[in-house]
Structure 1
Amino acid sequence: MTTSALRLGLRANAAQFTLLVAVNALVGGLLGSERTVLPLLAEREFDLTAYTAALTYILAFGATKAVTNFLAGALSDRYGRKPVLIAGWLAAIPVPLMIIWAPSWGWVVGANVLLGVSQGLAWSTTVIMKIDLAGPARRGLAMGLNEAAGYLAVATTALATGWLAAAHGLRPVPFLLALAYAGLGLGLSLASVRETHGHARREAATHVTGTAEQHHGLSTGRVAALTSWREPALSAASQAGMVNNLNDGLAWGLFPLLFATAGLSLTQIGILAALYPAVWGLGQLVTGQASDRYGRKPFVVAGMLAQAVALAWIARADGFAGWAAAAVLLGAGTAAVYPTLLATVGDVAHPAWRARAVGVYRLWRDGGFAVGALLAGAVADLAGVRAAVWVVAALTAASGLLAWIRMYETHPRAARLPRPDVARPGPRPVA
């Protein structure tokens, strides 16, 4: 099919879009297989008592995924989206097997390096492919559906592995579910997913902005500079994304240990580990679409501040009910932020270099896992888990205030402004 014959929009591409939603659910399920079990595995089977040492797997995952996100954007622009997606699934196959057979903690860390590669390639590419298919009008809804599928799968798998661990032990049964996800994801990607790079070229051919430099010729270094610090909305999104995933790294690595010290059962820990990403996932079905109507900035600022309040609540609470309520608020705040930040990048970046901009944004965002592992582990070793939660709560509040100050509204309908000149950033537009 020629580029000119391709159509943009969710309705025109419903079958492929739905398939990609299912594929991303499998990507999320692979990640969710670790959420309940791995922190407890570190403590109970590998006798890791120092929090910094126990969180090395999150550090390895986050650092690797961040770098791979960046590469995924560049590779998908050069070689196409589908080959990058398939490479991500090939990297996923050994992950559950390495954890099942691990004779030492180093094997688990190595498995999470591969998990970071897999998630960076596969999740980044499903994001890029959905942006390609959706076109500009419904980008927030597209990202809401994508991220909802991924994080609902994280939640249901975290809950399922908690039950499996309670019934059958921490290994190997919970990780057999992850192996099934990887095999199914690889099979669907090989057999049924179609290339979407042509849709991006189709949008680029009709995209109207300022200078020719905006359409073509931006180096990867230029794109990285714009997304990281030069362009106000892109840089605000990058810092908010990093802090958001710093929160998630804290929740992944330390919350199960905090709950265990309070005497909660494996089933209760699994419920709490699932509740936060479940609300996060479901909420994105609403927030992504709502940001198409009401704008991106209100959801980003309110979501970061809500996460800060939720983390402070978790630091003060001391029981299942209090932690469950705080997990709901944390999930709601994250749902407000997650698809909206991706939609913001899609709003500002030109289709010719949008995949690279998404890669740079996700480099910063998932670098938050590594920063969170180092920061939360160090503070927890020095002053306890609750102190680490308080520190992250303060950082999250600061991130929300920074987004409020620096970010402008990027959705054209909400802003009632022409698109910003991202090739030559100037003063922040006034909405």
Structure 2
Amino acid sequence: MTTPASPQLPPTPPAGAGARPLQLGLRQNAAQFTLLVVVNALVGGMLGQERTVLPLLGEREFGLTAYTAGLTFILVFGLAKAATNYVAGTLSDRHGRKPVLVAGWLVAVPVPLLLIWAPSWGWVIFANVLLGISQGLTWSTTVIMKIDLVGPARRGLAMGLNEAAGYGAVALTALVTGYLAEAYGLRPAPFLVGIAFAALGLGLSAVAVSETREHARLEAGSHVARGDGRHDHLHEGLGDREVFLQTSLREPALSSASQAGLVNNLNDGLAWGLLPILFAGAGLSVSRIGILAALYPAVWGVGQLLTGALSDRWGRKWMIAAGMWLQAVALAIIAVADTFGAWAFAAALLGAGTAMVYPTLLAAIGDVAHPAWRARSVGVYRLWRDGGFAVGALLAGVVADALGVRAAVWTVAALTAASGVVVAVRMYETHHPGRQTGREEPRR
């Protein structure tokens, strides 16, 4: 049975007298694109406020001894963010990108306050449900808006800039909060930074950000056919169910990207929730743990400035596969190392591998998905990708409780290597240099 198609992108309203016509491209939309980069950096900062402090808070202030219990905050964060990613894509198509972005910031405002005042771990769990919802709405929307603005030619570069800003801010905030926690304690000082980020992000999104949905419609009307006919079935009028199935299971590139995204965030959940505890158990200070917690997303963030653009030149498939394998090697080094220097090297390696994968996966989704349902496809991909936080938290916690933290790291390393094999075997190349689009011409 054919699922009824969701409402298509609404017609672009006619420009008023003297209005500047819509154009696609990074240079043509530089001001708005730059503003969205800043907004996404603030989104990343909201996540970064937890990276160093929260695992230690659970252990030292709330007395959590079981790894599975301590990772519940990542589990609920991942579930909330994954589900919200899917909703964000659908809402962005139906109601516009900007309202979804502003709503996400409104949800973020209470998060640092709850973390400061939490009298029990249950409050921390609730704060992370709100953080997951907020991240799903805000980060998904900034991704969709940047894809809307730049068009197909420089999509990898655009995603590299977006993710570099977000994860660069994660790294910087993790570093800053580590030093604040060392100097002033685990609460409230580290979370005051989050209050400032939420206020600034909400203000910029409500006042300065412009709607980009009309840019997606402009791109939808100017497709160049893909020569091999591979995407003939991915026409303009796919319904929600079909978009979900194509992105999750049926379409080789879309589904390969979805599983790789899930495994990537599975190992990120491990890095977030268990590695600070591993490092603390080896006697490292909070400030040194903060350095390690920051180094991984710092290399990840900065590296994407290069890898996103390189995927526009070299293609997506092998960048993704190689990145997954590099992450697996880095995790193996973490599992066997026991010194700050070795862990620092492995953290940098893990960041480099993630940088190869993260913007490239988003660019591949943008290559294949039609603009009429691209926001929904991005939402489905991010549903699976950020579901990896929940899977990683549960898997890593269970294995760590049964066999120890290092066994959990080895388990995740093996899964990451296997994910790279899936990409190498199943995914096809979605972008070829010189070709302006990886999608078919709309059916008439």
TM-score by length of 2: 0.93
Q: How does 1:223-262 map to 2 (within 5 A)?
A: 223-262=243-282
* Aligned position for 1:161: 177
Q: Structure 2 vs 1, CA of residues 195 and 108 (structure 1 numbering), >3 Å: closer, same or farther?
A: same
Residue pair 1:204, 1:215 contacting (<8 A) in 2 also:
no
Aligned mate of 2:70, from 54, 62, 83: 54
Higher helix share: 1
Q: Is the 8 A contact 2:334 2:346 kept in 1?
A: yes
Equivalent position of 1:70 in the other structure: 86
Amino acid at match of 1:372: G
- The alpha-carbon distance between structure 1 residues 205 and 347, as it changes in their structure 2 partners (threshold 3 A), is same
**Which of 366, 383, 386 pairs up with 1:366?**
386
Look up the equivalent residue of 1:373 and give its one-letter code.
A
Q: TM-score, normalized by length of structure 1?
A: 0.95
Name the residue aligned to 1:340.
360
How many Å separate the matches in 1 of 2:217 and 2:441?
19
Superposition deviation, residue 423 in structure 1: 10
Number of residue equivalences: 423
- Which ranges of structure 2 fall in alignment gaps of 5 or more residues? 1-12
Residues 251-297 of structure 1 deviation map (CA, whole Å, 9 limit, x = unaligned): 00000000000000011000000000000000000000000000001
1:217 to partner: Cα distance: 2.0
Q: Deviation of residue 421 (structure 1)?
A: 6.3
State the Cα distance separating 1:5 from its structure 2 match: 2.3
2:408 is the counterpart of 1:388: yes
- With 208-217 and 242-251 compared, the bigger mean Cα shift is at 208-217
Deviations 1:72-116 (CA, angstroms, capped at 9, x unpaired) = 000000000000000000000000111111010000000000000
- Among 405, 412, 418, the alignment partner of 2:432 is 412
- Matches of 2:442 and 2:423 in 1, distance apart? 21
Amino acid in the other structure paired with 1:182: A
Give me the whole-angstrom Cα distance separating, in 2, the residues matched to 1:203 and 1:268: 48
Aligned equivalents of 1:30, 1:404: Cα separation in 2:
34
Aligned to 2:198: 182
**Which whole-Å CA distance do the structure 2 matches of 1:75 and 1:95 have between them?**
23
Residue 208 of structure 1, CA deviation: 3.8
Among 319, 324, 347, the alignment partner of 1:304 is 324
CA shift digits 1:286-342 (9 cap, x unpaired): 000000000001110100000000000000000100000000100000000000000
Is contact 1:213-1:423 (8 Å) kept? no
Asked whether the 8 Å contact 1:348–1:422 carries over to 2, the reply is: no
Cα distance in structure 1, aligned partners of 2:439 and 2:47: 36
Aligned-residue Cα RMSD (Å) equals 1.8
Distance 2:441 2:129 in 1: 34
Partner amino acid for 1:241? G
Q: How far, CA to CA, are the matches of 2:56 and 2:432 in structure 1?
A: 47
- The residue type paired with residue 396 of structure 2 is A
How far apart are residue 122 of structure 1 and its match? 0.0
Q: Distance in 2 between matches of 1:8 and 1:423?
A: 18
Q: From 200, 218, 237, give the equivalent of 1:202.
A: 218
User: Which residue does the alignment assign to 2:417?
Assistant: 397
Rounded Cα–Cα distance in structure 1 between residues aligned with 2:157 and 2:422 = 25
Q: Which residue of 1 aligns with 2:118?
A: 102
Task: Give 1:413 shift.
Answer: 2.5
The structural deviation recorded for 1:417 is: 11
1:35 to 51, 55, 71: 51
Unmatched runs of 5 consecutive residues or more in structure 1? 425-431
Q: Which residue of 2 aligns with 1:266?
A: 286
Determine whether 1:191 maps to 2:213: no
Which moved further from structure 2: 208-217 or 76-85?
208-217
> Alpha-carbon deviation of 1:420?
6.1
1:349–1:422 contact (8 Å) kept in structure 2: no
Distance in 2 (alpha carbons) for counterparts of 1:101 and 1:251: 26
Report the more deviating stretch, 15-24 or 1-10.
1-10
1:15–1:225: structure 2 CA closer, same or farther, 3 Å change rule? same
User: For 1:5, what is the secondary structure of its paired residue?
Assistant: coil
Q: C-alpha displacement at 1:31, in angstroms?
A: 0.1
Shift of 1:153: 0.1
